């Protein structure tokens, strides 16, 4: 096994390199992110809990870490964070189950056209 992590830590050097290579999109993304996570119809804690759940569905380790930290800073408890993760797990599993209708419809079509 290698001692190299699968997902490298975000270092100041890497952050600087990303900014140097595409400063305008980075600035736009930061502004967008700030606007999205600003309290509005949903409070900051709720938005961060949604982000924790979505991060688990998209399986982004950096987002999982960052939004878990953000949710905690916004006042979320460990139980609330774990419950958000379970909601994500159910939605991901539910999506697979719901899409079974496509496979069943295809099977039906294949059997009908023989």
- Per-residue model confidence (pLDDT) at position 103: 94
Domains and CATH numbers, the chain: 9-38 (no CATH), 40-112 (1.20.1290.10)
For the full predicted model, state whether its pTM sits above 0.85. Answer: no
Which residue has 């379970």 as its token pair?
Answer: 86
Q: What is the tens place of the pLDDT at every residue in 47-106?
A: 999 999 999 999 999 999 999 999 999 999 999 999 999 999 999 999 999 999 999 999
- Per-residue model confidence (pLDDT) at position 1: 60
Q: What is the tens place of the pLDDT at every residue in 24-49?
A: 999 999 999 999 999 999 999 999 99
């Amino acid at each position: 096994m290698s001692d190299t992590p699968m997902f490298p830590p975000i270092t100041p050097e890497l952050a600087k390199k990303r900014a140097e290579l595409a400063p305008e999109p980075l600035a736009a993304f930061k502004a967008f992110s700030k606007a999205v996570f600003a309290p509005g119809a949903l409070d900051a804690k709720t938005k961060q809990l949604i982000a924790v759940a979505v991060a688990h569905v998209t399986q982004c380790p950096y987002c999982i870490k960052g939004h878990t930290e953000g949710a905690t800073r916004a006042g979320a408890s460990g139980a609330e964070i774990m419950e958000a993760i379970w909601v994500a797990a159910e939605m991901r599993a539910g999506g697979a189950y719901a899409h079974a209708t496509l496979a069943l419809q295809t099977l039906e079509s294949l059997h009908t056209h023989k």
